[in-house]
Amino acid sequence: MSPHIPLDTTAEAHAVQVAAWRKMTPAERVALACELSDNVRQIAAEGACAADTPSTATTKFVWQRSA
């Protein structure tokens, strides 16, 4: 089991999650990583769009082009 258990997760829940990851094929892991990356980009873009700063227009453009 991984020695790095998140502080908000029980050891049992972490073990279940790690077991699920280990059952995944390499392609499934890549797909999951891509999905998580897309989610982070979307969350960041939404945060940038909601921000009221001078760099907001540039940030919106950059994030929208990378999505």
In a domain, 3, yes or no: no
In a domain, 4, yes or no: no
CB 48 within 8 A of CB 59: yes
Q: What is the pTM of this model?
A: 0.59
The C-alpha atoms of residue 37 and residue 41 are separated, in whole angstroms, by: 6
Mean pLDDT of 21-44: 94
Domain count along the chain = 1
Angle ∠(14,34,42) on CA atoms, nearest 5: 100
Residue 31: which domain range? 11-66
Token pair belonging to 50: 């909601």
Asked whether the predicted pLDDT for residue 23 surpasses 60, the reply is yes
In a domain, 2, yes or no: no
Q: What is the pLDDT of residue 57?
A: 57
In a domain, 5, yes or no: no
DSSP character string of 37-64: HHHHHHHHHHHHHH--STTHHHHHHHHH
In a domain, 22, yes or no: yes
In a domain, 6, yes or no: no
Tallying the residues shown for the chain, one arrives at 67
